[in-house]
Amino acid sequence: MPNSPPHTQRAGRTRNPIPRGFMAVVAIVAVLLGAIIGLTVLLVVNTHDRTRLQADLQMRYITRTAADYIRRQIDIADVLIDLTGAEVAERLRSAVLPSETLIEALSRRVDTLPQVSAVHAYDHRGMLWLSTGTEPMPLDVSGLEPFQRLRAGEHSRLAVQSGPGAPALLRLARRMSLADGSFSGIIIATMDLDAFDALDRRNLPVAVRGLAVISDDGPLVFGQPYAAAVELAGLTNFLSDEADGHVAIDASDLYWARVAHLPLTVLVQTATGSGAPDWYSTAAGYAMVIGLVMIAAIAALWGAWRQLRQRAASEALLRGLMNNPPIIMALQDAAGRYLMVNRHYCNLLGRQEGELIGRTSYDVFPPRVAGLYEQQIREAIDAGRPLVFDTAARQRSGEIRQFVLIRFPIYDDAGRLLAVGGIGIDISERKQLEEALREHAAERERLAMNFAQQRELAETANRAKSEFLAHMSHELRTPLNAIIGFSDIIASRMLGNSSAKYFEYADDISRSAHHLLGVINDILDVSRIESGKLAFEPDFHRLHDLVEDSLRLVQGRARDGGIVLNNALPADWPEAKVDARMVKQILINLLGNAVKFTPSGGRIAVDGQRQADGAVTLRVSDTGPGIPADHLPRLFEPFWQAAAGIRRSEGSGLGLSICRKLIELHGGSITIESAMGAGTTVIVRFPAGTMKPARSS
């Protein structure tokens, strides 16, 4: 080009000199080639030992895997007899013979486990009660030591029964207990360890001569092939006390692994002259690959060196322009990698220029900030012109500064994108002033809202206190006046020394005292529930029995009022996991309310339903006068009692509130359905999962 600088024209006519440092690169190449040769020699020497070590580690792992496999299969069998034992124990308690259905179900369960060949159950006397499979067992085991030890309290026992010319049998026995912990009998699973062939010898790293499973007492439990396994069973003197290990015997290797928590050991013996991989060719292959990698690395290094040399001149021209203005500047390529940064940018981040060049925003900033900067770069490239953004940056001191950031694309003469520039101007002082004004306005608004909320809370608390004191003053004063008045009459003998009215007054004093105690107990119950100090102790109980107990406690008042009580809850319902004391308190409160408001000749019934979603409901229904619809929403408010349409009842007004809190502790709810002249029904709903699933026979 005619206006090109003179030095550029000369550069086109002269030969480029050898770059400085080129000889150092050549020396590095020579050293790397020597390293490749040395590495190849080391690989040839060491590959054989490494191969043997790998084979040893694999055989240890395989032996350990076989031991773990055996342990898992015995654990599965243990789960089978545990489940079966629970079913059998319940039937043994009833002293009936096993049904064909039970034997058929147990046989199907045994068939699903190949390692279990038979299951036998004995009652508490040691007599055979149930048998599946073909393995013979004695009819009476009461005199055998395993039965005696299990009856004495031992939980389970694994025994090995050896026989001539064949592997021994494993028998896993468990104690069966009733719900009260008393001895019900034992159940025994006979296992055939032929199913424990966990090894595929075709895929082993070395040839295997034999595999055996032996018990600590010496009998062979499993062997493959059997003749070699018998010989292995005689090599136990080579084993140490460790959980697993390896020992060389003659020209073969012996590996062992003990089955965790069981008196069993797995033995594996390799064959003589086990083959190994072609370690020479492997080592040569490694050396070739490393050589190719090193050659490629040297070529890439030399290419990078030339590229850096070409870019150095351009960067030197820009450096002075970028470092002098009191602004932050940076150049990034289309992929977001930093090409140049000025010293103000480095000072802002507290990093050296070399720590930034070649890195992206994700290497320097948090992901959220980096993503924002990358999005700005893409927008500037798409727009093809400068774009202005507001952004924030954290200084080395930790202070966050606000900037106006200008992003602009840079193109060459052919229109190809070279880089994206960024110039940042600090506007922190202006932003701080704007933020201070906004915070001042927001603080005033927040204070105003807080004042209004506090004022409303104070008024609500004051109203609640006044209502509580007014209600309690009446509820406490009325029985106390009766107690004091009648007590004074009796104490002063106003009616003479032996008037019969004294007995009536004493009865009035007792009723007033009990009423006063009930009010205080209700207040204390509410206090314990609100403070979280009321103990919630759920357990499985029969809801029919809880309803029956509650009806019994209100039977006297119902009889005096001429009211009929009926427990319509099915007696054969499964048990439910509830807090029995809380459920009875709920039922007594609801039944007490029903008795108070049901006229003579009326009926009160308790029934229940199981919902489709698994929930359980109890319904307390009466034939009383009913409750107006506009009163229903307020019935669960503390201290509230209806005045119109319903006579005022004795009590604190806390009963229904306590019922709702107690059922909420169970995760349930309580609702009331009523209409004037149609009676009232209170529905207590327990959540799904409360009822214990019914056992299948």
Q: Mean pLDDT throughout 221-248? A: 74
- Cβ-based burial of 694 (10 A; exposed 0-12, middle 13-18, buried ≥19): exposed
Average pLDDT of the residues of the chain:
76
Place of tokens 């009215």: 501
> pTM to 2 decimals?
0.35
Q: Is 89 helix (H, G, I), strand (E, B) or coil?
A: helix
CA atoms within 13 A on the CB side of 586: 30
At a CB cut-off of 8 Å and minimum separation 6, what does 450 contact?
A: none
| The predicted structure's pLDDT at residue 570 | 86
| The predicted structure's pLDDT at residue 648 | 42
**120 bridge partner residues:** 131, 188
Q: Amino acid identity of 24?
A: A
| The predicted structure's pLDDT at residue 697 | 43
Place of tokens 């009325």: 478
Checking if the pLDDT of 419 tops 60, the result is yes
**Percentage with pLDDT > 90 across the chain:** 2
Helices (H) and strands (E) in the chain, counts: 15, 22
Q: Mean pLDDT throughout 404-426? A: 86
| The predicted structure's pLDDT at residue 603 | 92
Q: What is the pLDDT of residues 577-624, one digit of tens each?
A: 888 888 888 888 888 888 888 898 899 999 998 888 888 889 999 988
**Percentage with pLDDT > 70 across the chain:** 72
Closest CA to 653 of 666, 670, 638: 638
Q: Which residues of 161-197 are buried (b: 16+ CB within 10 A; e: fewer)?
A: eeeeeebbbbbbbbbbbeeeeebbbbbbbbbbbebbe
Strands 208-215 and 264-270, bridge-based pairing? antiparallel
| The predicted structure's pLDDT at residue 201 | 54
Chain centre distance of CA 304: 52
Residue 352 CA to residue 254 CA, distance in Å, equals 61
φ/ψ region of 402 (left if φ > 0, alpha if ψ in -120 to 50, else beta) reads beta
Checking if the pLDDT of 134 tops 60, the result is yes
Q: What is the pLDDT of residues 189-231, one digit of tens each?
A: 887 765 445 555 555 666 777 777 877 776 777 777 777 777 7
Checking if the pLDDT of 669 tops 50, the result is yes
| The predicted structure's pLDDT at residue 279 | 54
Residue 618 CA to residue 584 CA, distance in Å, equals 12
- Enter the tokens of residue 684: 């207590």
pLDDT top residue among 369 and 306: 369
* 3 pLDDT tier (thresholds 50, 70, 90): very low
At a CB cut-off of 8 Å and minimum separation 6, what does 267 contact?
A: 210, 211, 212, 213, 214, 232, 233, 235, 254, 255, 256
At a CB cut-off of 8 Å and minimum separation 6, what does 345 contact?
A: 328, 329, 330, 356, 424
Checking if the pLDDT of 337 tops 70, the result is yes
Q: What is the pLDDT of residues 277-290, one digit of tens each?
A: 455 566 667 667 77
Q: What is the pLDDT of residues 442-483, one digit of tens each?
A: 888 888 888 888 888 777 656 655 555 555 555 565 666 667
Q: Which of 237-241, 389-393, 520-524, 542-546 has the highest mean pLDDT?
A: 542-546
Checking if the pLDDT of 374 tops 70, the result is yes
At a CB cut-off of 8 Å and minimum separation 6, what does 323 contact?
A: 342, 343, 344
Alpha carbon distances (Å) from 91 to 56, 86, 130, 181, 289: 53, 9, 11, 15, 72
Q: Mean pLDDT throughout 561-571? A: 88
Annotate 368-423 with DSSP letters as a single string: HHHHHHHHHHHHHHHHTS-EEEEEEEE-TTS-EEEEEEEEEEEE-TTS-EEEEEEE
Q: Give the residue ranges of DSSP H helices in 94-135.
A: 100-111
Straight-line distance from the first to the last Cα atom of the chain, in angstroms, rounded to the nearest whole number: 100
| The predicted structure's pLDDT at residue 649 | 47
Residues 490, 502 contacting (CB under 8 angstroms):
yes
Q: What is the pLDDT of residues 159-194, one digit of tens each?
A: 776 666 666 678 888 888 887 788 888 888 887 765
Place of tokens 């003990």: 258
Alpha carbon distances (Å) from 239 to 65, 102, 248, 251: 18, 45, 11, 17
Q: Mean pLDDT throughout 663-690? A: 86
Q: Give the residue ranges of DSSP H helices in 96-245.
A: 100-111, 145-151, 226-233
* 65 pLDDT tier (thresholds 50, 70, 90): confident
Closest CA to 586 of 667, 684, 691: 684
Residue 354 CA to residue 327 CA, distance in Å, equals 20
Q: What is the pLDDT of residues 93-105, one digit of tens each?
A: 766 677 777 777 7
